[in-house]
């Protein structure tokens, strides 16, 4: 996967079929697989590329998750913009329990286009004001679960995320950024951003801002017919039932999933390298199979 990453452009989006066909022909998967049981995908160098944990979220956790997320579900906004927020990629809730849309939540991140020298992190719009405090509280259980999972999946990245949050907290306190400091004190995840995605169809894509050696963690919950998550360039498909957890570098993996009915809420937890750079947290290497306690 190191050579594969070297072949990718900096802003590789995964949206060009011609470009992806060229990459696929250069790096074809050895075989195609359909996974339905807990699995770890490893490359030829022993690097862990994917963790797949079906049933990671119990029914009790998902019920609690939905109960708390009512605070957030009124916030998702569907805009006529890029595909991630375009109206055509969302389907309606059959019972009105879910508001279709996508919202990004972070106690400290750079606004789009400001990940350059001279700008400072800000609290995301959704967390500003009194309502934002309820959102941070609502995310605490989910944040603890994905952080515990990352502690096993990628210990070095877990500690890098922990160090980044501590440094951000000290920076916010030093400059009397009270709102940011409040949220950082109550933010339970080592990831510094979470996207809440409701009833979205996801066309084939990559996430170019993700580091190749890092993991994003996605969880899915809701009432919908069984669907498949397709990691297209790896030749691997996963049964993506409610309660599943997937961890991978979404830069390395071109992924796709389509849901046309039901209610589905995905939480996608990730780290922004620009935030780690801002506070001086060193980058981590790939997680290796021989370093994981199975």
Which pLDDT belongs to residue 194? Answer: 94
Question: What is the pLDDT confidence band of residue 71, given thresholds at 50, 70 and 90?
Answer: low
Question: What is the pLDDT confidence band of residue 147, given thresholds at 50, 70 and 90?
Answer: very high
Question: What is the pLDDT confidence band of residue 292, given thresholds at 50, 70 and 90?
Answer: very low
Say how many Å lie between the first and final Cα of the chain, rounded.
22
Which pLDDT belongs to residue 122? Answer: 93
Question: What average pLDDT does this structure show over 131-154?
Answer: 93
- Coil, helix or strand at residue 292: coil
DSSP assignment string, 229-279:
EEEGGGTEEEE--TT-EEEE-TTT--EEE---SSEEEEEEEE--HHHHHHH
Residue whose tokens read 């409040």: 182
Which pLDDT belongs to residue 78? Answer: 46
User: Cβ distance 210 to 234 under 8 Å?
Assistant: no
Residue 98 neighbours by CB distance under 10 Å? 22
Which pLDDT belongs to residue 293? Answer: 52
- What is the percent of the chain where pLDDT is above 70? 90
Instruction: Please report how many Cα atoms fall inside a 13 Å half-sphere around the Cα of residue 69, on the Cβ side.
Output: 26
Q: Which residue has the higher pLDDT, 256 or 62?
A: 256
DSSP assignment string, 180-203:
HHHHHHH---SSSEEEEEESB-EE
Question: What average pLDDT does this structure show over 276-280?
Answer: 93
**pLDDT one-digit tens code per residue, 170-206:** 999 999 999 999 999 999 999 999 998 888 888 899 9
Q: Which residue has the higher pLDDT, 87 or 10?
A: 10
Across the chain, mean pLDDT equals 88
Positive or negative torsion for Cα 76, 80, 82, 86: positive
- As a dihedral over the C-alpha atoms of residue 236, residue 217, residue 64, residue 151, rounded to 10 degrees, the angle is 120
Which pLDDT belongs to residue 171? Answer: 96
Q: What angle do CA 258, 263, 269 make, to 5 degrees?
A: 70
Which pLDDT belongs to residue 222? Answer: 86
Q: Which residue has the higher pLDDT, 79 or 220?
A: 220
Residue whose tokens read 């019920």: 63
Question: What is the pLDDT confidence band of residue 143, given thresholds at 50, 70 and 90?
Answer: very high
Positive or negative torsion for Cα 285, 104, 4, 7: negative
| pLDDT over 50 at 261, yes or no | yes
Question: What average pLDDT does this structure show over 233-257?
Answer: 94
Question: What average pLDDT does this structure show over 49-64?
Answer: 89
Which pLDDT belongs to residue 89? Answer: 81
| pLDDT over 80 at 80, yes or no | no
């Amino acid at each position: 996967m190191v050579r594969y990453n070297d072949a990718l452009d900096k802003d590789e989006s995964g949206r060009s079929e011609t470009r992806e066909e060229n990459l696929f022909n250069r790096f074809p998967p050895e075989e195609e697989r359909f996974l339905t049981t807990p699995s770890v995908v490893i490359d030829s160098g022993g690097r862990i590329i994917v963790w797949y944990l079906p049933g990671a979220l119990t029914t009790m956790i998902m019920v609690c998750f939905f109960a708390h997320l009512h605070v957030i579900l009124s916030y998702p906004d569907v805009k006529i913009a890029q595909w991630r927020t375009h109206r055509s990629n969302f389907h309606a809730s059959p019972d009105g329990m879910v508001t279709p849309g996508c919202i990004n939540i972070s106690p400290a991140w750079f606004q789009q286009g400001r990940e350059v020298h001279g700008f400072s992190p800000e609290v995301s719009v959704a967390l500003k004001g009194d309502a934002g405090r309820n959102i941070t509280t609502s995310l605490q259980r989910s944040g603890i679960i994905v952080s515990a999972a990352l502690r096993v999946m990628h210990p070095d990245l877990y500690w890098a995320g922990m160090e980044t949050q501590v440094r951000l907290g000290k920076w916010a306190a030093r400059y009397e950024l009270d709102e940011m400091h409040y949220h950082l004190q109550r933010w339970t995840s080592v990831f510094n951003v979470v996207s809440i995605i409701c009833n979205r169809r996801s066309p084939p894509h990559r996430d170019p801002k993700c580091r190749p050696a890092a993991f994003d963690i996605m969880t899915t919950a809701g009432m919908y017919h069984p669907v498949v998550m397709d990691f297209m360039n790896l030749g691997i498909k996963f049964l993506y039932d409610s309660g599943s957890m997937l961890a991978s570098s979404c830069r390395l993996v071109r992924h796709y999933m389509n849901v046309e009915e039901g209610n589905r809420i995905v939480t996608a937890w990730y780290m922004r390298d620009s935030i780690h750079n801002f506070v001086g947290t060193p980058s981590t290497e790939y997680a290796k199979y021989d370093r994981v306690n199975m």
